[in-house]
Amino acid sequence: MGLNIVKAFLTAMLIMPIGTTFAQDCEEDIIERNQKTYVSETSVPYSENANTTVIPTRPKQEFTPNTMMDSISAEAKMRFMQSMMASNPFSLRDIINLMVVKKQALPELTFDEVIESLQSKALDLNMRQVGHNTPYVILRESFDPDSPRLEIFSFCDLQTMRQILDYSLEFSAFVPCKVTVLEDANKNIWLTTLDWDVRWLDTGPNPNRIPTDLRERAIKVRENIEAIMEAAAVGDF
């Protein structure tokens, strides 16, 4: 992990004091924090980044669409991750926080109102709802009657998904896009999703880049998920 990335993440962590519960946040605080989860400007190309070390990569390669790559062994994955984590100062909880977008719903909204806004905005943006799971129901029925409410919604831009799978069939493990609506210990309602952003996922020196059209589509999907979550967080129908 580069020194600049570590500094940026540490700075972000220092903004939020340890032990913050969000229990007393006013509407302005919530809206301001929610607006900091996405930056729409195009990222700086890798070659223009300062203080980076360019590592040799494999050359440009052709591939057959909609096919699997050769598997990477468990040992190779472990060694790669261990070498990366050797200089990592963060806990697993920190790293998961880094990988997630989260928005807090305004306190006057009910859980059902947040869901209604979520589904309404997704429909407006032509993001198909292709799944809905309610694990909290099973939790309550099985062993924890007081388990907080948690519902998982799956959305998809079907054309973009088809193109992504042609480019990387392995990406099927990450689709469709999931948005979780849940309650925390203080009865605050949150929306979360995996923060995959092609603008920083595809900025390395490897020449096997994502096609331009697919890159633009992937960025649009990320922006749509952001818009869906923002609308749900404020009850915008």
Nearest to 127 by CA among 226, 194, 230, 221: 221
Asked whether the predicted pLDDT for residue 150 surpasses 60, the reply is: yes
CA–CA separation, 147 and 121 (whole Å): 28
Percent of the chain with pLDDT over 70: 84
Band (1; pLDDT cuts 50, 70, 90): very low
Does 155 lie in the same domain as 94? no
Buried b (16+ CB within 10 A) or exposed e, 145-168: eebebbbbbbbbbeebbebbebbb
Does 157 lie in the same domain as 92? no
Report the pLDDT averaged over residues 145-165.
Answer: 97
Does 226 lie in the same domain as 143? yes
Higher-confidence residue of 39 and 45: namely: 39
Is the Cα dihedral 91, 172, 69, 59 positive or negative?
A: negative
| Cα first-last separation, the chain | 41
Q: Answer whether residue 88 is part of any domain.
A: yes
Q: Answer whether residue 51 is part of any domain.
A: no
Does 85 lie in the same domain as 112? no
Q: Answer whether residue 165 is part of any domain.
A: yes
Helix (H) or strand (E) holding 213: helix 212-234
Please give the pLDDT value at position 24. 62
Assign 228 to helix, strand or coil.
Answer: helix
User: HSE (CB half, 13 Å, CA atoms) of 97?
Assistant: 10
Instruction: Give CA separation, 24 vs 10, 34, 62, 224, in Å.
Output: 24, 16, 55, 29
Which of 3-7, 74-78, 180-184 has the lowest average pLDDT?
Answer: 3-7
Which of 16-30, 69-83, 169-183 has the lowest average pLDDT?
Answer: 16-30
CA–CA separation, 148 and 146 (whole Å): 6
Domain that holds residue 1: 1-12+79-98
Domain boundary among 98, 125, 144: 98
Asked whether the predicted pLDDT for residue 12 surpasses 60, the reply is: no
> Could you report the per-residue pLDDT of 126-146, keeping only the tens digit for each?
999 999 999 999 999 999 999
Band (16; pLDDT cuts 50, 70, 90): low
Q: Answer whether residue 34 is part of any domain.
A: no
Please give the pLDDT value at position 38. 79
CB atoms within 10 A of CB 210: 17
153 and 195 Cβ atoms separated by less than 8 Å: no
Does 215 lie in the same domain as 107? yes
Report the pLDDT averaged over residues 65-75.
Answer: 95
Does 145 lie in the same domain as 90? no
Report the pLDDT averaged over residues 208-218.
Answer: 92
Q: What's the full length of the chain, in residues?
A: 237
The tally of domains found in the chain comes to 2
Q: Answer whether residue 120 is part of any domain.
A: yes
Q: Answer whether residue 216 is part of any domain.
A: yes
Asked whether the predicted pLDDT for residue 19 surpasses 50, the reply is: no
Higher-confidence residue of 44 and 232: namely: 232
Report the pLDDT averaged over residues 5-31.
Answer: 62
Asked whether the predicted pLDDT for residue 3 surpasses 60, the reply is: no
Q: Answer whether residue 4 is part of any domain.
A: yes
Domain boundary among 65, 98, 131: 98
